[in-house]
Amino acid sequence: MKLAVKQQANVQDTLKRVKDEVHPAPKTVPHNVVKTKKPQAPKKLFPDSALFQRWGEDLPEAEQRKAQDLFHRFGYNVYLSNQLPLDRSLPDTRDSRCLQKTYPSQLPSLSVILIFMDEALSVIQRAITSIINRTPLWLLKEIILVDDFSSNGELKIPLNEKIEFYNQMYPGLLKIIRHAERKGLAHARNTGWKAASADVVVILDAHVEVNVGWAEPILARIQEDRTVIISPVFDNVRFDTFQLLKYEVAVDGFNWQLWCRYDFVPQTWIDLGDVTAPVRSPSIMGILAANRLFLGEIGALDDGMLVYGGENVELSLRVLKEEPGGRYTLPVLTLAIVTCIALMVSDSDHQNANNIQLAGCWKTLERIFSGDNPQFPHLWSTPSNSGIDYGDISSKRMLQEKLKCKSFDWYLKNVYPVLKPIPIHDIVGYGRMKNSLDKGICLDRGPVTNNIPIMYACHELGSQYVYYRLTGEFYVGSLVAEVHSDDLCLTDPGHREEPTLEQCSKAAQNKLHIYWDFKQGGAMVNRDTHRCLEIRREPSGTYVPVLQTCTAQVWEIQYTLGNLSQTNVL
């Protein structure tokens, strides 16, 4: 009996313990303690916005809306910029050997030109503040702001008031010039250059922050050689967090869209073993420094370039000059990257017209890109190939003759050999490719991490550039501009339905099936497998490219040249 009672008591204890664990009794709270509820994290209103991928985790919803609105308007995190100190500290990203360099006590005077159009006021103020705080004042003669017809209200009276405030502390240091209509970057930079009075001009965008010791290497290099134009190495300030990201030393180049790009430094500079030495560059970015008078002697920037893009490449090309004895160098303009500075830049359809005008100024480019029958207008998304009027360029060619500029052919061979020539002479079709089953979709390069082409809604971007060569290859995607890289060729692997994209040189070496027969408005037939590239509708409703026995499907390429005869039009 005692054992049974004890066992019953154990069962009751167990049941009570389980009950307490599942439904615990409320704890007694002392009368003087207030129980608080843990706040919930704000709901993410814009989970797909680039602004909130690394920033704004705990931002209240109303502030998220405000930040996203400013981001949509400016393209960078103005909400955060407005909260950061104007004189915030920045890490010194220079190589330690740069800190050991010394510069002459007597250096040229400096005019800093800041170009802007609808930037955020706090970003412009931070640029001004960094220049004042990190430039020796005995060198800094003036800061010239050029407003290229901004519509942002805070860049009117509020900016004038800020300038007046700065000038109370530094009399006459800041000047502002406002365009009555939008002129573009090249014109705005020339406006600032014409207004400058110092020995050296440094032309910057207004969304920059300069770091400690930025000016002395530039001024010292130009003092050594007044014909040097400097394109400084700069780091990056992230558009979302305003965190500084260090960029490694690189030289400035461009691709066949004539957009700027970074190239590897030459081996000759590496062999010097001196990271503080300037390095020659085949081109310049828009940010540059030059002797003010010398920049005028070579014609300054081409302010016929409208709004944005191309003027930096044009300046780079213009200065090739013949030396006595028939030797060609870069005697007038030594494009130089100065490595011992830290200049930060935050991320932020006239490019087409500018590039075509640039092509018109240089006969080799003119043969490639313009003239009576422009062969590659798609490089700048030009809507047709009926001829392009790029205006009167006679004065530009007269300037080239005055400067004794060498040809673009010579430039490619002697100055920029890493720019891979376009196979211009045997490309007979190019642009977007459409199939007869659906005219709204185009053959597309697809994700860069994959080697499978796709069909995608037609657009003007480089992933849908297709080039058909007389030799039979189809290049898919933007033309590769680097000598050491390769274009992608459309391939029939022979053993599956999916076509692939392979590097052309390797595909040819491996005897893959990269040669196709095609006539405008006809089938795309692989020469080796005799299969056709066609498209098939999936159960989801999307189309995919497939390789199969030829049916009645036909293709059309956007532009045809030379031997690619036109049989049908979709």
Looking at the fold, whether 313 and 446 belong to one and the same domain comes out as no
Q: Which of 234, 396, 214, 213 has the alpha carbon at shortest distance from 317?
A: 396
DSSP structural state of residue 27: P
Rounded CA gap, 511 and 396, in Å?
48
Q: How far is CA 235 from CA 31, 90, 92, 137, 270, in A?
A: 59, 11, 11, 24, 20
Query: Structure tokens of 54?
Result: 């690394």
Looking at the fold, whether 335 and 477 belong to one and the same domain comes out as no
Q: Which of 149-158, 226-235, 343-352 has the lowest mean pLDDT?
A: 343-352
In this model, does residue 5 exceed pLDDT 90? Answer: no
Number of neighbours of residue 508 by Cβ within 10 angstroms: 15
Q: How far is CA 264 from CA 80, 249, 317, 481, 484, in A?
A: 34, 8, 20, 13, 11
Q: Considering the domain boundaries, does residue 381 fall inside one?
A: no
Banded model confidence at residue 566, pLDDT cuts 50, 70, 90: very low
Q: Are 194 and 115 in contact (CB under 8 A)?
A: no
Give me the helix-helix angle, 121-134 and 157-169, nearest 10°: 10
Tell me how long the chain is.
Answer: 570
Q: Considering the domain boundaries, does residue 169 fall inside one?
A: yes
Tens of pLDDT, residues 375-385:
344 443 333 34
pTM of the model: 0.74
Looking at the fold, whether 318 and 447 belong to one and the same domain comes out as no
Highest mean pLDDT among 216-230, 495-509, 537-551: 537-551
b (16+ CB within 10 A) / e for 17-33: eeeeeeeeeeeeeeeee
Question: What was the pLDDT predicted at 176?
Answer: 98
Stretch 76-83: mean pLDDT, rounded?
Answer: 96
Question: What was the pLDDT predicted at 400?
Answer: 65
Domain count of the fold of the chain: 2
Rounded CA gap, 509 and 500, in Å?
16
Question: What was the pLDDT predicted at 537?
Answer: 95
- For residues 380 and 136, the model is more confident at 136
Q: Considering the domain boundaries, does residue 407 fall inside one?
A: no
Average pLDDT of every residue of the chain: 80
Q: Which of 483, 460, 458, 479 has the alpha carbon at shortest distance from 468?
A: 479
Domain that residue 503 falls in:
424-560
Looking at the fold, whether 341 and 436 belong to one and the same domain comes out as no
**CATH code, domain with 550:** 2.80.10.50
Looking at the fold, whether 554 and 454 belong to one and the same domain comes out as yes
> Which ranges of 420-548 does DSSP label H, i.e. alpha helix?
504-509
Rounded CA gap, 491 and 514, in Å?
5
Q: Which of 180-189, 397-406, 408-417 has the lowest mean pLDDT?
A: 397-406
Q: Considering the domain boundaries, does residue 50 fall inside one?
A: no
Which of 346, 380, 412 terminates a domain? The answer is 346
- SS3 of 82-130: CCCCCCCCCCCCCCHHHHHCCCCCCCCCEEEEEEECCCCHHHHHHHHHH
Looking at the fold, whether 176 and 319 belong to one and the same domain comes out as yes
In this model, does residue 9 exceed pLDDT 50? Answer: no
Q: Are 505 and 486 in contact (CB under 8 A)?
A: yes
Question: What was the pLDDT predicted at 331?
Answer: 29
Q: Considering the domain boundaries, does residue 278 fall inside one?
A: yes
Query: Structure tokens of 35?
Result: 């129980």
Question: What was the pLDDT predicted at 391?
Answer: 56
Q: Considering the domain boundaries, does residue 160 fall inside one?
A: yes
Q: Considering the domain boundaries, does residue 245 fall inside one?
A: yes
Give me the sheet containing 524-526, strands edge to edge. 516-518, 524-526, 532-537, 543-548
Residue 536: alpha-carbon gap to chain centroid: 36
Beta strands in 436-550 (DSSP E): 438-444, 454-457, 466-469, 474-476, 488-491, 500-503, 516-518, 524-526, 532-537, 543-548
For 361, residues 6+ apart whose C-beta sits below 8 A from its C-beta are: 314, 393, 396, 397, 400
Tens of pLDDT, residues 290-337:
999 999 988 888 776 654 556 667 777 665 443 333 333 332 333 455
Dihedral angle, C-alpha 294, 298, 300, 303, nearest 10 °: 170
* DSSP per-residue codes, 134-184: HS-TTTEEEEEEEE-S---GGGSHHHHHHHHHHHHHSTT-EEEEE-SS--B
Which of 311, 328, 346 terminates a domain? The answer is 346
Stretch 428-445: mean pLDDT, rounded?
Answer: 93
Q: How far is CA 154 from CA 70, 119, 197, 204, 514, in A?
A: 13, 10, 28, 21, 58
Q: Considering the domain boundaries, does residue 158 fall inside one?
A: yes
Rounded CA gap, 274 and 256, in Å?
32
Question: What was the pLDDT predicted at 215?
Answer: 94
Question: What was the pLDDT predicted at 337?
Answer: 56
Q: How far apart are the first and last CA of the chain?
A: 99
Tens of pLDDT, residues 159-202:
999 999 999 999 999 999 999 999 888 889 999 999 999 999 99
Looking at the fold, whether 327 and 428 belong to one and the same domain comes out as no
Nearest-5° Cα angle at 92, 89 to 224? 120
Q: How far is CA 283 from CA 114, 183, 313, 488, in A?
A: 21, 23, 6, 27
Looking at the fold, whether 338 and 428 belong to one and the same domain comes out as no
- For residues 41 and 468, the model is more confident at 468
In this model, does residue 355 exceed pLDDT 80? Answer: no
In this model, does residue 57 exceed pLDDT 60? Answer: yes
**CATH code, domain with 123:** 3.90.550.10
Which of 303, 321, 346 terminates a domain? The answer is 346
Residue 58: alpha-carbon gap to chain centroid: 31
